[in-house]
Amino acid sequence: MAFAGSADEGETTLSDRELNANLIHRINVGDSLTRAAARSPGSCAVVDADRRYTYGEFNAWVNQVANGLSERGYRRGDVLALASGNSVEFLVTYFACAKVGVVCVPINLGWASKEVTYVLDHSAARGLVVESQLLPTMSDAVHDVDAVVDLFVAPGTGAGACDEISGRNYSSFADLADSGSDSEPEHIVEDRDPISYLYTSGTTSAPKGVVGNHAAVYLESMTMALEARFASDDRFVAMLPMFHTAQLNCHCTAAVMVGATIFIRRR
């Protein structure tokens, strides 16, 4: 594989030496999905209610969203917030961000609107992937954060229409995917680059953003898989909230690493 990148000032062409150096030293959470799909493209990766995706299909969808974000100008270090219950779209967003170096900020669905506003502002989120039933609450929070200019609406449970906020770009999650190719994204992402800001519950004060970099999350997932002896024929039920690292990085990313199947439950 080859990886191309972009400078902060705009697009740039990278030398073969830079590309190869990134490939050799690269530790990227998104690459674990790429490898799983290459090993077993026909194996079942994710089951979400009546929706089933093989590793080949899941990886292609992730690539489409990743490339769709790039088409919209998202670059390494940009921040994309994610307000979603447990769903395949949650995992697609997380892995898509990883592949292009965008920082994913999952929203704790137990927060009040003012706490969501604080986190969106504090994390410098540029966009938000939001399930449809969460639109009313999230729109109230987004209203006070001018930096959040993009809202990508996932189907969710199909409820929760609200008035659009002027000056914001709305599009469906499907349109985001349709705007990108399913080829592997070509971006330089360093192993110490953040993959996520996971905010604490904020029980004693404002939520604190915990930075998780690619190397740390990759090693956490790999250690979990090795210690617990996860295997490709294992089945995982994801019923803890995916916005918490116990579900997301101890089990979901570890399951993908070994090519196992994740059965998603909303509760």
**3-class DSSP state of 157:** coil
0.75 surpassed by pTM: yes
Instruction: Dig out the tokens for 228 from the structure.
Output: 């617990």
Instruction: Dig out the tokens for 185 from the structure.
Output: 């994204």
pLDDT tens per residue, range 79-101: 999 999 999 999 999 999 999 99
Any domain includes 21: no
pLDDT for the residue numbered 167: 87
Any domain includes 9: no
Choose between 161 and 129: higher pLDDT. 129
Q: Over pLDDT 70: what percentage of the chain?
A: 90
Q: Looking at residue 81, which CATH number applies to its domain?
A: 3.40.50.980
- Give the domain range for residue 243: 29-264
Any domain includes 17: no
Give the span between the Cα atoms of 64 and 61, in whole angstroms: 5
> If you ran DSSP here, which 8-state letter would residue 181 be given?
-
Any domain includes 24: no
pLDDT tens per residue, range 11-49: 445 567 766 666 666 789 999 999 999 999 999 999 999
Answer yes or no: is pLDDT of 219 > 50: yes
Choose between 267 and 27: higher pLDDT. 27
Instruction: Dig out the tokens for 148 from the structure.
Output: 């959040």
pLDDT for the residue numbered 11: 45
What is the total count of domains within the chain? 1
E strand or H helix that includes residue 247: helix 245-247
Contact predicate 69/101, CB 8 Å? no
pLDDT for the residue numbered 18: 67
Answer yes or no: is pLDDT of 130 > 70: yes
Any domain includes 2: no
Answer yes or no: is pLDDT of 207 > 80: yes
Give the span between the Cα atoms of 145 and 238, in whole angstroms: 32
Any domain includes 13: no
Kindly tell me the burial class for residue 149, based on how many C-beta atoms sit within 10 Å of its own C-beta (0-12, 13-18, 19 or more): middle
> If you ran DSSP here, which 8-state letter would residue 133 be given?
G
Contact predicate 147/121, CB 8 Å? yes
**3-class DSSP state of 11:** strand
Any domain includes 11: no
Answer yes or no: is pLDDT of 4 > 50: no
First to last CA, the chain: 38
152 strand-pairing partners: 129, 171
pLDDT tens per residue, range 43-69: 999 999 999 999 999 999 999 999 999
pLDDT for the residue numbered 7: 39
Instruction: Dig out the tokens for 201 from the structure.
Output: 């519950």
Mean of all residue pLDDT scores within the chain: 90
pLDDT for the residue numbered 65: 98
Any domain includes 5: no
pLDDT tens per residue, range 93-129: 999 999 999 999 999 999 999 999 999 999 999 999 9
Q: DSSP secondary structure string, 156-189?
A: TTS----PPPTT-EEEEHHHHHHTS-SSPP----
